[in-house]
Amino acid sequence: MPFVLILVGFVFLLYVISRFMQQSKSEKLNRLFRYGFAVILGFLAFLITFRGNVAAGGILGLLSFLSAQGSLWRFMVGGPPKKMANRGGAPARGTSMTRDEALDILGLSGNPAQAEIKEAHHKMMVKMHPDQGGSDYFASKLNQARDILL
């Protein structure tokens, strides 16, 4: 029973510290909390493992490692990562792009001619095509920018 209370206390402490870290803009303070909590969890993992509870010590050791790495805090602050709307990486339907965004994506400015738009699109697509190691997402954004400007 005491281990359950200690675990509940640590979960609550994790939550409070993660909310504090979310509001803090200081990277030094965040790093101090991360490493400090990692040291405390590591010490407790050692003590609990030494007393014979290897499973609880292993879990605390894992939490200590995740705290030092920072992924524990990212999970506590932001929750699990949001799933993509579609798995192909392409932008969801209905997302709109402004003319200025399209110009920025193609590296153009002002009021480019149709030939300039096609040339800029071709040049960027050669570099960023999925077959050349680029992403489907960026290729679809290039096509969307070309369509908007043409």
d(CA 56, CA 91): 43
Instruction: Check residues 85 and 119 and name the one with the higher pLDDT.
Output: 119
pLDDT in tens, 15-37: 777 777 667 767 777 788 778 87
Of 6 and 109, more confident: 109
Chain CA centroid to CA 57, Å: 29
Q: Where are the domains of the chain?
A: 2-78, 99-149
pLDDT value at residue 77 = 60
| Percent of the chain whose pLDDT exceeds 70 | 79
**Alpha carbon distance 150, 142 (integer Å):** 12
Does this model's pTM top 0.85? My answer is: no
Task: Give counts: helices (H), strands (E), the chain.
Answer: 7, 0
Distances, alpha carbon 39 to alpha carbons 22, 60, 84, 106, in Å: 21, 11, 35, 49
Q: Which CATH code fits 99-149?
A: 1.10.287.110
Residue range 114-149, pLDDT digits in tens:
999 899 888 888 887 777 777 788 888 888 888 888
Q: What is the CB neighbour count within 10 angstroms for residue 99?
A: 11
